[in-house]
Amino acid sequence: MILISDSTLRDGNHAIRHQLTAAQIYDYARAADEAGIDIVEVGHGNGLGGSSCQLGQTPIDDRTMLETAREALKNSRLGVHFIPGLGKSADITLALECGVDVVRVATHCTEANVSRRFIEQTRAAGKTAYGVLMMSHMAEPEVLLAQARLMQSYGAQAVILMDSAGYSTPSLVRSKVSCLTNGLDITVGFHAHNNLGLAVANSLVALEEGARLIDACLKGFGAGAGNTQLETLVAVMEREGYASATTFERVLALAGRSDAFLSPKTPHIHAANIASGLYGLFSGYVPHIQKAAQEFGVAEFELYKRLADRRLVAGQEDIIVEEASRLAHERDTTQALSA
């Protein structure tokens, strides 16, 4: 049985600058529950404690979001995303008080060691803890396995590879997921972004290699170019014989009902999103890069290349401005010398 974790109310929040309302959260959570979705993930796009001037402020706080969703969910489990450093131990305590069932502790793909206290905190409370390795394209399979084993040793009950930049191709997914499924004693999951139009294909390859937990969003509603589209994923799973708690018919009904209060549009894969996927940059960086390129008068796609060379990861927005300033300085120097 394949577990489906629906991150429409978390990753989808990125797509609208984290402005989901309590009414939208309640209505979608109730509809997803009735559709048989296993886990409904809720919160600021960057997870617990993410609301800020820099990352985007939500109209309602974490407690309100989680309590609203908890009231709506009768059978589906309530999940949250948590990034150590952005969120604190107190945020997990709050989430558990609100009735959260699954805490997904996410770190950069080579920094699993910082997840320990939060995975242990969640398990000590009797709740489910998953480890998430973000920007998983930036590490080789053996490195990811070593990091996943750390999370497993801390008590994680699953480890999810997150293709945060939408960089991966089926061959990359195959090698990395198979390495984890062969080397771990716990469930392996996969979270795709659609920058190169491969989210569903990559998710299917992950299933073929033994992943048993897949993330998806209604109509692909997610950061940047969006995520694995829930409706398409379930349709393909049924065709390929993968069983889940929901069905294509129930997911279509969820999509139809949601139009009245959420109405997410399937993201068009803009050139900027393709570039961020091609160069392996976090999808949420696109508007920051575009703004910096405009302010400094530099070429947007040259800025993508420069940031890729610096192996930029989530949380380093200041480097975007720094690199744009450097590009502008180099341009001005070249022009002065040629004058």
Local structure of residue 103 (DSSP, 8 states): E
Q: How far apart are CA 318 and CA 280, in angstroms?
A: 18
Q: What is the dihedral of CA 47, 259, 21, 203, to 10 degrees?
A: 0
* CA angle, residues 207, 210, 214, in degrees to nearest 5: 45
Distance of CA 292 to the CA centre of its chain: 24
Can you read off the two tokens belonging to residue 264?
A: 């997410």
Q: Measure Cα distances from 218 to 126, 129, 223, 242, 336 in Å.
A: 30, 24, 13, 19, 52
Query: What is the C-alpha to C-alpha distance for residues 279 and 232, in angstroms, rounded to an integer?
Result: 26
- Mark whether 270 is an active-site residue: no
Alpha-carbon span 247 to 18, nearest angstrom: 29
Report the C-alpha gap between 222 and 46 in whole angstroms: 12
Residue 148 in tokens: 């996943």
Which of these is catalytic: 14, 18, 191, 288?
Answer: 14
**What amino acid positions are annotated as catalytic residues?**
14
